[in-house]
Protein backbone atom coordinates (compact mmCIF):
# COMPACT_ATOMS: atom_id res chain seq x y z
CA UNK A 1 0.00 0.00 0.00
CA UNK A 2 1.28 3.47 -0.80
CA UNK A 3 2.01 5.96 1.99
CA UNK A 4 -0.65 8.57 2.62
CA UNK A 5 1.14 11.30 0.68
CA UNK A 6 1.92 9.14 -2.36
CA UNK A 7 0.26 9.86 -5.70
CA UNK A 8 0.13 7.47 -8.66
CA UNK A 9 2.09 8.63 -11.67
CA UNK A 10 0.12 10.94 -13.90
CA UNK A 11 -2.30 12.09 -11.19
CA UNK A 12 -1.86 15.79 -10.47
CA UNK A 13 -4.69 16.93 -8.20
CA UNK A 14 -5.51 20.58 -7.84
CA UNK A 15 -7.09 22.24 -4.84
CA UNK A 16 -9.33 24.67 -6.68
CA UNK A 17 -12.29 23.37 -8.69
CA UNK A 18 -12.00 23.98 -12.40
CA UNK A 19 -14.61 26.31 -13.81
CA UNK A 20 -15.65 27.49 -17.23
CA UNK A 21 -18.15 30.06 -18.32
CA UNK A 22 -21.55 28.48 -18.84
CA UNK A 23 -21.14 25.41 -16.67
CA UNK A 24 -21.40 24.73 -12.92
CA UNK A 25 -18.24 24.36 -10.87
CA UNK A 26 -17.25 20.81 -10.04
CA UNK A 27 -17.25 19.57 -6.48
CA UNK A 28 -14.02 20.36 -4.60
CA UNK A 29 -11.52 17.66 -3.70
CA UNK A 30 -12.43 18.08 -0.05
CA UNK A 31 -15.87 16.64 -0.86
CA UNK A 32 -14.28 13.30 -1.77
CA UNK A 33 -11.65 13.33 0.98
CA UNK A 34 -14.12 12.10 3.60
CA UNK A 35 -15.66 8.91 4.92
CA UNK A 36 -16.80 6.80 1.98
CA UNK A 37 -20.31 6.18 3.31
CA UNK A 38 -20.83 9.91 3.76
CA UNK A 39 -19.66 10.58 0.21
CA UNK A 40 -21.84 7.77 -1.20
CA UNK A 41 -24.92 9.28 0.41
CA UNK A 42 -24.10 12.88 -0.50
CA UNK A 43 -23.40 12.04 -4.14
CA UNK A 44 -27.11 11.30 -4.50
CA UNK A 45 -28.73 14.21 -6.30
CA UNK A 46 -25.45 15.52 -7.71
CA UNK A 47 -24.89 15.75 -11.48
CA UNK A 48 -22.35 13.64 -13.36
CA UNK A 49 -21.23 15.55 -16.47
CA UNK A 50 -19.17 14.37 -19.46
CA UNK A 51 -18.32 16.94 -22.13
CA UNK A 52 -17.73 15.03 -25.37
CA UNK A 53 -17.04 16.15 -28.96
CA UNK A 54 -20.66 15.26 -29.75
CA UNK A 55 -22.05 17.37 -26.91
CA UNK A 56 -22.50 17.43 -23.14
CA UNK A 57 -23.97 14.37 -21.44
CA UNK A 58 -25.32 14.70 -17.91
CA UNK A 59 -27.35 12.77 -15.38
CA UNK A 60 -28.48 13.10 -11.78
CA UNK A 61 -26.92 10.44 -9.56
CA UNK A 62 -29.72 8.42 -7.96
CA UNK A 63 -27.95 5.24 -6.78
CA UNK A 64 -24.50 4.49 -5.36
CA UNK A 65 -22.55 1.77 -3.55
CA UNK A 66 -19.78 2.32 -0.98
CA UNK A 67 -16.59 0.20 -1.03
CA UNK A 68 -14.68 0.84 2.16
CA UNK A 69 -11.12 -0.31 1.51
CA UNK A 70 -8.92 -3.43 1.79
CA UNK A 71 -10.83 -4.74 4.83
CA UNK A 72 -14.05 -4.74 2.74
CA UNK A 73 -14.01 -8.13 1.02
CA UNK A 74 -16.28 -6.86 -1.75
CA UNK A 75 -13.84 -4.09 -2.72
CA UNK A 76 -11.24 -4.54 -5.46
CA UNK A 77 -8.70 -3.09 -3.03
CA UNK A 78 -9.10 -6.18 -0.80
CA UNK A 79 -6.66 -7.83 -3.26
CA UNK A 80 -4.05 -5.21 -2.40
CA UNK A 81 -2.27 -2.62 -4.49
CA UNK A 82 -2.16 -3.85 -8.09
CA UNK A 83 -1.97 -2.19 -11.47
CA UNK A 84 -5.76 -2.38 -11.65
CA UNK A 85 -6.40 -0.94 -8.17
CA UNK A 86 -3.63 1.69 -8.30
CA UNK A 87 -6.18 4.46 -8.85
CA UNK A 88 -8.21 3.36 -5.81
CA UNK A 89 -5.17 3.81 -3.60
CA UNK A 90 -4.44 7.23 -5.02
CA UNK A 91 -5.74 10.65 -3.96
CA UNK A 92 -9.48 11.29 -3.74
CA UNK A 93 -11.54 12.86 -6.49
CA UNK A 94 -10.38 10.69 -9.38
CA UNK A 95 -12.40 8.29 -11.55
CA UNK A 96 -11.73 4.57 -11.21
CA UNK A 97 -13.12 2.93 -14.37
CA UNK A 98 -12.81 -0.78 -15.06
CA UNK A 99 -14.23 -3.39 -17.41
CA UNK A 100 -16.35 -6.37 -16.26
CA UNK A 101 -17.26 -9.48 -18.26
CA UNK A 102 -15.07 -8.09 -21.02
CA UNK A 103 -17.81 -5.74 -22.18
CA UNK A 104 -19.29 -3.47 -19.48
CA UNK A 105 -17.53 -0.49 -17.92
CA UNK A 106 -18.17 0.60 -14.34
CA UNK A 107 -17.31 3.99 -12.87
CA UNK A 108 -16.22 4.64 -9.30
CA UNK A 109 -15.21 7.81 -7.49
CA UNK A 110 -12.10 7.50 -5.31
CA UNK A 111 -12.65 8.66 -1.72
CA UNK A 112 -10.70 9.23 1.49
CA UNK A 113 -6.96 10.02 1.75
CA UNK A 114 -4.45 8.39 -0.59
CA UNK A 115 -3.57 4.88 0.55
CA UNK A 116 -7.02 3.95 1.89
CA UNK A 117 -8.25 2.14 -1.24
CA UNK A 118 -11.86 3.27 -0.91
CA UNK A 119 -14.32 4.30 -3.62
CA UNK A 120 -18.00 4.81 -4.48
CA UNK A 121 -19.56 2.97 -7.41
CA UNK A 122 -22.09 5.01 -9.41
CA UNK A 123 -25.01 2.68 -10.18
CA UNK A 124 -27.75 4.78 -11.79
CA UNK A 125 -28.52 8.20 -13.27
CA UNK A 126 -31.67 10.17 -13.99
CA UNK A 127 -31.15 11.97 -17.34
CA UNK A 128 -30.44 15.70 -17.14
CA UNK A 129 -29.39 16.11 -20.77
CA UNK A 130 -30.91 13.89 -23.48
CA UNK A 131 -29.27 10.46 -23.28
CA UNK A 132 -29.31 7.92 -26.09
CA UNK A 133 -29.62 4.98 -23.68
CA UNK A 134 -30.85 4.03 -20.24
CA UNK A 135 -28.51 4.64 -17.30
CA UNK A 136 -30.06 2.45 -14.59
CA UNK A 137 -27.16 0.12 -13.89
CA UNK A 138 -23.36 0.59 -13.73
CA UNK A 139 -22.72 -0.68 -17.27
CA UNK A 140 -25.68 1.17 -18.75
CA UNK A 141 -24.61 4.35 -16.95
CA UNK A 142 -21.16 4.23 -18.53
CA UNK A 143 -22.57 3.48 -21.96
CA UNK A 144 -25.08 6.35 -21.75
CA UNK A 145 -22.38 8.85 -20.73
CA UNK A 146 -19.67 7.52 -23.07
CA UNK A 147 -17.44 6.46 -20.16
CA UNK A 148 -14.74 3.87 -20.80
CA UNK A 149 -11.25 2.99 -19.57
CA UNK A 150 -9.78 6.04 -21.26
CA UNK A 151 -11.28 7.95 -18.32
CA UNK A 152 -9.66 5.71 -15.71
CA UNK A 153 -7.59 7.98 -13.49
CA UNK A 154 -9.28 11.12 -14.81
CA UNK A 155 -9.34 14.02 -12.36
CA UNK A 156 -12.93 14.88 -11.51
CA UNK A 157 -11.88 18.48 -10.98
CA UNK A 158 -11.44 18.80 -14.74
CA UNK A 159 -13.43 20.79 -17.30
CA UNK A 160 -14.64 17.81 -19.33
CA UNK A 161 -15.58 15.12 -16.80
CA UNK A 162 -16.80 16.10 -13.36
CA UNK A 163 -19.53 15.99 -10.72
CA UNK A 164 -21.34 19.18 -9.76
CA UNK A 165 -24.06 20.26 -7.38
CA UNK A 166 -27.28 21.13 -9.23
CA UNK A 167 -28.51 24.71 -9.30
CA UNK A 168 -31.69 23.63 -7.57
CA UNK A 169 -31.47 21.01 -4.82
CA UNK A 170 -34.34 18.53 -4.67
CA UNK A 171 -35.32 17.05 -1.32
CA UNK A 172 -35.11 13.27 -1.19
CA UNK A 173 -35.13 10.35 1.20
CA UNK A 174 -32.36 7.76 1.08
CA UNK A 175 -32.94 4.01 1.12
CA UNK A 176 -30.18 1.62 2.29
CA UNK A 177 -29.85 -1.89 0.90
CA UNK A 178 -27.12 -4.56 0.48
CA UNK A 179 -24.85 -4.14 -2.53
CA UNK A 180 -25.57 -6.08 -5.71
CA UNK A 181 -23.44 -8.89 -7.15
CA UNK A 182 -21.03 -9.31 -4.21
CA UNK A 183 -22.28 -12.63 -2.78
CA UNK A 184 -18.68 -13.88 -2.70
CA UNK A 185 -17.83 -11.35 0.04
CA UNK A 186 -19.39 -13.29 2.93
CA UNK A 187 -20.78 -11.08 5.68
CA UNK A 188 -19.73 -8.02 3.70
CA UNK A 189 -22.36 -8.92 1.11
CA UNK A 190 -25.05 -8.29 3.72
CA UNK A 191 -23.88 -4.83 4.74
CA UNK A 192 -26.28 -2.06 3.76
CA UNK A 193 -23.84 -0.09 1.64
CA UNK A 194 -26.04 0.60 -1.39
CA UNK A 195 -27.91 3.89 -1.30
CA UNK A 196 -30.62 5.21 -3.58
CA UNK A 197 -33.24 7.93 -3.76
CA UNK A 198 -36.56 6.59 -2.56
CA UNK A 199 -39.23 6.47 -5.24
CA UNK A 200 -36.93 7.43 -8.08
CA UNK A 201 -37.92 5.50 -11.23
CA UNK A 202 -34.36 5.41 -12.57
CA UNK A 203 -32.91 3.28 -9.75
CA UNK A 204 -31.50 -0.02 -11.07
CA UNK A 205 -33.09 -2.24 -8.44
CA UNK A 206 -35.32 -1.61 -5.41
pLDDT tens for the chain, 206 residues: list them. 333 333 333 444 444 444 444 567 899 999 999 999 999 999 999 999 999 999 999 999 999 999 999 999 999 999 999 999 999 999 999 999 999 887 899 999 999 999 999 999 999 999 999 999 999 999 999 999 999 999 999 999 999 999 999 988 888 999 999 999 999 999 999 999 999 999 999 999 98
Q: CA 48, CA 25: separation in Å to the nearest integer?
A: 12
Provide the β-strand partners of residue 58: 49
- Spatial contact of 198 and 117, defined as CB atoms under 8 Å apart: no
The CATH H-level superfamily of 29-197 is Methylpurine-DNA glycosylase (MPG) (3.10.300.10)
Q: Give every CB contact of residue 156 below 8 A, 6+ residues apart in sequence.
A: 26, 27, 32, 93, 94, 95, 109, 162, 163
> What pLDDT, on the 0 to 100 scale, is given for residue 103?
84
> What pLDDT, on the 0 to 100 scale, is given for residue 101?
80
- Spatial contact of 177 and 192, defined as CB atoms under 8 Å apart: yes
Q: Tell me whether residue 72 is exposed, middle or buried, using C-beta atoms within 10 angstroms of its C-beta: 0 to 12, 13 to 18, 19 or more.
A: buried
Q: Which of 154, 185, 177 is nearest to 77 (CA)?
A: 185
> What pLDDT, on the 0 to 100 scale, is given for residue 23?
63
Q: Which of 110, 79, 107 is nearest to 94 (CA)?
A: 110
Phi then psi dihedrals of residue 25, to 5 deg? -75, 140
Amino acid sequence: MQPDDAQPAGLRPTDVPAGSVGRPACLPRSFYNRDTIVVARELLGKHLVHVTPAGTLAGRIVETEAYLGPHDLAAHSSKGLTERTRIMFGPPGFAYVYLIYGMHHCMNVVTEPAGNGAAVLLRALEPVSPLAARANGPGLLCRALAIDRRLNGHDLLSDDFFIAAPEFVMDHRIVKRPRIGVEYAGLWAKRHLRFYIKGNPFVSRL
